[in-house]
Amino acid sequence: MAYINDNYSKLQASYLFSDIAKRVAAFTEANPGKEVIKMGIGDVTEPLPAVCRQAFHDAIDEMGTRDGFHGYGPEQGYAFLRETIAQNEFSARGCDIQANEIFVSDGSKCDCGNIQEIFSEQSKVAIPDPVYPVYVDTNVMAGRTGQNSDGRYDGLVYLESTTENGYIPSPPSEKVDMIYLCFPNNPTGTCATREQLQAWVDYAKDCGAIILFDAAYESFIRDPEIPHSIYELDGARECAIEFRSFSKNAGFTGTRCAYTVIPEGLTALDGNNESVSLHQLWNRRHTTKFNGVSYPVQKAAAAVYTEEGKAEVKALTNFYMENAALILKTMKELGFACAGGTNAPYVWIKTDAPSWEFFDRLLNESAIVCTPGAGFGTCGENHFRLSAFNSRQNVELAMERIRKAFA
């Protein structure tokens, strides 16, 4: 007789964005003439940079020759990509990260979801609220929580992000073992200052915890004082793993390429209280369960770091940030309290209505899809998120419709 992993029974019925997609599909079916503008899921809309497409094409052509053909590549990624990442993303910012500390993968969602596998089932996990649901759900699946009651899982330490703390939680008073942080934040769009991040690094070092730092949105930071990487902070090499992605900066959501940084020398304890290298553990996992990102995709990703690529990526992120500015301006003028939108492609907006009720109103009255804050956690209630990933035309039209509905 086969038995299921009972932890799955603790999960909410479906993943947030699948839930939204179902409601939108039902609306579209009932209102075939209405043009729905999707500002829910943070999926990019603008074409891949020309330099990436060219590199992609060239690599495919290479694959069509006997000499240029590539079979299985190194699971951790080709040296050409790891080296250029280390140079451009880390050395250039004064971070001591080497190419062999970078593990190339097919997405940050997978890496953020899978990383917990190398930690003990008994680990005490701290997770922000609201939060990208992947961090919570994967820990539920792994059995690190009890049941869900009133939207919260027993056993997790929730780090509340509220208007009172400017949506930036401080370290808790109790000790934890694993800490998920995401800056620029999804969903609130807020960024921790250098001092706030340093407090997290100091706390983690103090209690021997590991910070799992999701920096998928770092390319949207415009304020020069805000750190792009956790490794810009003193001591982070001893307590942090960082996740990065090509999805949002270079438009790779459908192309798939990301990477995880695990410093050599970063350790956690085994059952005998002996230090074990997390770099080696992740390498063991990665080589067992993953066969590497395809050669053409890695070539396309490496093209991001050419001079032309840097300019194209800057133009892309600037474009989305102009959308964010438009959204922020409109919502503020309508009297909504907002966060985010200045160093992140998300605007986090407060509403008196329950967030799913607001979602339905916006969909039914204005044919606009937002993400209801409650989908990200209890503290997301009475909030909704608008994503700046869209065409200019759609953002302008959406803002027009919102003005009409809420003026």
Number of CB atoms found within 10 A of residue 46's CB: 14
Measured CA to CA, the distance from residue 82 to residue 75 in angstroms comes to: 12
Q: Which is nearer to ligand MLT, 109 or 124 (CB)?
A: 109
Q: Provide, rounded to whole angstroms, the least separation between the CB of residue 180 and ligand MLT.
A: 14
CB of 255 vs ligand MLT, minimal distance in Å: 14
State both tokens at 126. 């701290």
Which is closer to ligand MLT, CB of 132 or CB of 183? Answer: 132
Contacts of 66 (CB under 8 A, 6+ apart): none
Nearer to ligand MLT, 145 or 188 (CB): 188
H/E run at residue 327: helix 307-333
Q: Which is nearer to ligand MLT, 189 or 263 (CB)?
A: 189
**Kindly report the CA angle at 144 between 241 and 114, in degrees rounded to 5?**
40
Nearer of residues 161 and 186 to ligand MLT, judged by Cβ: 186
For the CA atoms of 294, 299, 304, 308, the dihedral, rounded to the nearest 10 degrees, stands at -150
Whole-angstrom Cα Rg for the chain: 21
C-beta of 234: minimal distance to ligand MLT in Å? 30
Can you read off the two tokens belonging to residue 320? Answer: 């989305």
Distance spanning both ends of the chain, measured CA to CA:
60
For ligand MLT, which is the closer residue by CB, 59 or 331? 331
Minimum CB distance to ligand MLT smaller for 186 or for 343: 186
List the beta bridge partners of residue 210. 178
Q: Min. distance of Cβ 251 from ligand MLT in angstroms?
A: 13
Q: How far is the CB of 389 from ligand MLT (least distance, A)?
A: 8
Q: Smallest distance from the beta carbon of 204 to ligand MLT, in angstroms?
A: 24
Instruction: At 42, list the tokens.
Output: 């943070």
* Shortest reach from residue 335's CB to ligand MLT, in Å: 25
Least distance to ligand MLT from the beta carbon of 226, Å?
Answer: 20
Nearer of residues 266 and 324 to ligand MLT, judged by Cβ: 324
Give 169's DSSP letter: P
Residue nearest to ligand MLT (CB): 42
Core vs surface per residue 229-243: b (16+ CB within 10 A) or e: bbbbbeebbebbbbb
Instruction: Report how far residue 244's alpha carbon sits from residue 345's, in angstroms, rounded to the nearest whole number.
Output: 16
Site of interaction with ligand MLT (CB under 6 A): 41-43, 109, 132, 186
Q: How many CB atoms lie within 10 A of CB 335?
A: 8
